[in-house]
Amino acid sequence: MRKGNKLTSILGFKCPHCHEGEFFVDRNPYHLSTVGDVLDHCPVCNRRFTPEPGFYYGGMYVSYALAVALFAIVYIAMIVFFPDAPLWADAATVITALIILSPLIYAVSKTIWANLFMHYKGPHRTGEE
């Protein structure tokens, strides 16, 4: 994906300012001890990732929206592909999908939230903003 496109930052877990530096301490959201740990500064452009204390609490709204969307997609897929499945099987499949994908949803919700408020400024290195 080209730089300047927010999807580069959101799905690649890259800095929202330069789309080059890493955003998380650990890129793999399934390393549960570090999932969602955001670096203080971008290692490439040196811009801060936390504009104010508690900034990423807002990511909960994004996380909720993603979880509801996943719920709907999995539930509709169950109804379309397995119309005779009992309700408990639909519920078990939806809950299993939510549990398995929750670390990924958590990480993506933070990059989406950051990209709502931080915009592409190019890779040149700056002092702290």
Residue from the set 21, 62, 114, 118 that interacts with Zn ion by CB under 5 A = 21
d(CA 62, CA 113): 7
- Out of 6, 13, 17, 107, the only residue in the binding site for Zn ion (CB under 5 A) is 17
Measured from the CB atom, is 45 or 108 closer to Zn ion? Answer: 45
Angle made by CA atoms 78, 84, 89, in degrees to the nearest 5: 55
Q: Which of 51, 60, 39, 28 is nearest to 119 (CA)?
A: 51
User: Which lies closer to Zn ion via its Cβ, residue 22 or residue 90?
Assistant: 22
Binding Zn ion (rule: CB under 5 A), the pick from 22, 26, 36, 44 is: 44
CA angle, 124 then 125 then 129, to 5°:
115
Residues at the contact surface with Zn ion, assessed by CB under 5 A: 15, 17-18, 21, 42, 44-45
